[in-house]
Structure 1
Amino acid sequence: MIVAIVATVILSGATGPTDVTFVESFKVVLGHLLPDMSWMSDGSLTRLQDQAVWDFRLPRTLLAGLTGAGLALAGALMQAIVRNPLAEPYILGVSSGAGVGAVLVITLGSASLAGVTLSTAAFIGALVTTIAVYLLARQHGVLAPTRMILTGVALGSLLSAVTSYLTLTTEAQNVFSVLFFLLGSVSAATFHQLIVPAVALTIVSLYVFTRPRALNALLVGDESATALGVDVNRLRTYLMIAAALLTGSVVAVSGGIGFVGLVIPHIARIIVGTDHRRMLPVTVLGGALFLMLADLLARTVAQPTEIPIGIITAVVGAPFFLWLMRRGRAARAGMQR
């Protein structure tokens, strides 16, 4: 998967209206990473090729990778929290909250909201939604999984209705921007936008990769996990915060990209089993690779028009997911109950 991710980065750099070969794309990336490469100054690469690969194609590919890895990991955590193979990041309503924040900026303008940027407003919306779900899902001081799912669905529906109202009442020229954000896109990615999702993914990965045994214990039930010395309520709270942090961070910069958090963890379980020591790394790498390839399709399949990446993930992911469910290993991986 690591080799495939590197190859996809180079292939993405060579794909687009500006003529760049696979080798030239590799040289541009390597030339910026390693100083004093001869081909960066001998005229073999034009300035336009350099800008196309380094300034435009590479940031969007890396953002797609970070987004895919974050959503896939958040999906795996959500499925562990509620012990339900159908759980995924958007079940918390976090993406709907981010959507409301972003749509407010698009429809009202940043100046009307004290200069708050679209990404900041989306993250604030996701954060407020997470806090609301957490407070409403607690019962007798304990975070109840079923109550959390129902709360997330209810708040998500309410916030989606708010988004729809804002979209219907805004000016016509804003509707396209709203729809493009809600369907997901990394077309305007910059290196600066990589910082927040990269930091969030790193922090959450360091936390969950050091607690695979506790996550495995959740799979056998709360009573058994408690008997094994796991503080189930505290672990669920931390995992919920981690999943919400990941989802809010990536949705704020890439919009509402669905299906990744549902499909990729299942594929990882089919490949390496349910043990989180192996499943989580494969989930992160698989999510990154899947969304990188989806972004490559989104900008090439209907050139010169670019398709929102969320459409690609659904069109490609859904049939593949259904095919996997028909295989015998799907039941053993926990996809069928």
Structure 2
Amino acid sequence: MRILYAILACVLVVCIVIATSVGPAGIGWNHTLSALLRAIPGVESLLAEHLAPVTPAQSGLILGVRLPRVILAALTGAGLSIAGAVMQGVFANSLAEPGVTGVSAGAAVGAVFVIVFGGVCLPPWFLTLTAFLGALAATVAVQLLAGIRGSHGATLLLVGIAINALLGAVVSATIANADSSDKAQGAMFWLNGDLSAASWRDVSVMVIPLIFGSLLLLFLSPELNLLTLGDAQATSTGVNTQLMRHLLLGLAALVTAAAVSVTGIISFVGLVVPHICRLLFGANHRRILPLSLLVGAIFLVLADLVARLLLHPVVLQTGTVTAFIGAPVLLYLVARRAR
């Protein structure tokens, strides 16, 4: 498996270089790679003779505009995929996904409120912060309400569905009462998920909670394997099933909240990617979680590239492309499961 991880990591790096190279202002991959290497301290002095020349304008476009968007896509795809893999394991349901615990709906409420009712004096980061806090609040509510009735995955799933429905109604009512069509359109644009305005500020906001949560989830993959065997089996090995289930879902929600608070709601990544990894490589979460992380990053980088290029000069939203790809795959998986 280590060889497979190394291959996927190399594929991810290649995809990042290609995605950073492509755009309306054509820049060769060699110039892109040169700009990326020059940005690493000490590399330029070592490889100066072998690096292609890069103008300040090219360097600014690559490092200041394209690279943050591509890095944000990779981080978001990785986070949503590993969160989806964890939720599918906890709920013992291969069709579970990150939004099922209300985290995406909570982020949507926070963001839509700021877009519709916020003033122009609010700083740009306030929307991201509000979406993140809304996502965490929804997660806490689901965990507390589920804890009242018990710790079973079915209880958490049902409470998450109810919270999603409630918050979805709040979002719809908020958009319907927007005092201008521009605000309503802005809210709908955010809800569809997009990376077009990505910046290094966005990356800095989400990178720490996303990486922290993902690393902890990788560390807890053996406990997740035990949970999938059943509560009795897990308890016999000394695992506190109630605490572990809430901890895993809380970390998965943290990762999801970090991603969607910046990008908006990008659907199907956390559903399709871990499901395919499970079909190809089995149900061992020691393998599924890192594979989902890498494949998810590759998938969203390529999906965002398609969003930029498919109907150029018209730019599709990244969430629209993932829905176009994910919906048919989901229908196929459901049909295959029914057979």
Q: Give the TM-score of the pair, scaled to structure 1.
A: 0.90
For these two proteins, the number of residue pairs brought into alignment is 328
Partner Cα separation in structure 1 for residue 268 and residue 103 of structure 2: 14
Query: For structure 1, which runs of at least 5 residues remain unmatched after alignment?
Result: 328-334
8 Å contact 1:92–1:133 — kept in the other structure? yes
Q: 2:189 aligns with which of 151, 167, 180?
A: 180
2:33 is the counterpart of 1:5: no
SS of the equivalent of 2:312 reads coil
Give the aligned partner of residue 28 of structure 1: 35
Give the aligned partner of residue 83 of structure 2: 74
Give the aligned partner of residue 154 of structure 1: 162
Q: Which shows bigger deviation, 189-198 or 82-91?
A: 189-198
1:222-241 superposed matches below 5 A:
222-241=231-250
Partner Cα separation in structure 2 for residue 243 and residue 49 of structure 1: 38
RMSD: 2.3
Deviation, 1:318, is: 2.8
1:76-91 superposed matches below 5 A:
76-91=85-100
Give the aligned partner of residue 196 of structure 1: 205
Change (3 A) 1:46 1:103: same
Partner Cα separation in structure 2 for residue 97 and residue 247 of structure 1: 11
1:53-64 superposed matches below 5 A:
53-64=62-73
2:219 is the counterpart of 1:210: yes
Q: 1:145 aligns with which of 150, 153, 164?
A: 153
SS of the equivalent of 1:184 reads coil
Change (3 A) 1:149 1:113: farther
Q: Give the TM-score of the pair, scaled to structure 2.
A: 0.90
Equivalent AA in structure 2 for residue 272 of structure 1: F
SS of the equivalent of 2:219 reads coil
Q: Percent of pairs identical after alignment?
A: 39
Deviation, 1:288, is: 0.5
Partner Cα separation in structure 2 for residue 114 and residue 30 of structure 1: 33
8 Å contact 1:110–1:117 — kept in the other structure? no
Partner Cα separation in structure 2 for residue 86 and residue 43 of structure 1: 47
Deviations, residues 83-113 of structure 1 (Å, cap 9, x unaligned)? 1111111111111110111111111125688
8 Å contact 2:86–2:289 — kept in the other structure? no
Query: For structure 2, which runs of at least 5 residues remain unmatched after alignment?
Result: 1-7
Give the aligned partner of residue 319 of structure 1: 328
Q: Which shows bigger deviation, 288-297 or 209-218?
A: 209-218
SS of the equivalent of 1:138 reads helix
Give the aligned partner of residue 5 of structure 2: none
Give the aligned partner of residue 331 of structure 1: none
Deviation, 1:326, is: 6.8
Partner Cα separation in structure 2 for residue 164 and residue 127 of structure 1: 20
8 Å contact 2:217–2:252 — kept in the other structure? no
Partner Cα separation in structure 2 for residue 96 and residue 23 of structure 1: 42
Give the aligned partner of residue 25 of structure 2: 18
Partner Cα separation in structure 2 for residue 254 and residue 64 of structure 1: 9
Deviation, 1:119, is: 0.1
2:57 is the counterpart of 1:48: yes
Deviation, 1:287, is: 0.7
Partner Cα separation in structure 1 for residue 21 and residue 243 of structure 2: 47
Deviation, 1:252, is: 0.4
1:268-283 superposed matches below 5 A:
268-283=277-292
Partner Cα separation in structure 1 for residue 68 and residue 334 of structure 2: 34
Deviations, residues 280-331 of structure 1 (Å, cap 9, x unaligned)? 110100111111111001111111221111111111123344456677xxxx
Runs of 4 or more above 3 Å deviation: 34-40, 110-116, 320-327
Deviation, 1:43, is: 9.5
Deviations, residues 159-178 of structure 1 (Å, cap 9, x unaligned)? 11111122122111122221
Partner Cα separation in structure 2 for residue 114 and residue 68 of structure 1: 26
8 Å contact 1:212–1:276 — kept in the other structure? yes
Deviation, 1:52, is: 1.5
Deviation, 1:34, is: 4.0
Q: 1:104 aligns with which of 110, 113, 117?
A: 113
Equivalent AA in structure 1 for residue 79 of structure 2: G
Q: 1:284 aligns with which of 279, 288, 293?
A: 293
8 Å contact 1:110–1:118 — kept in the other structure? no
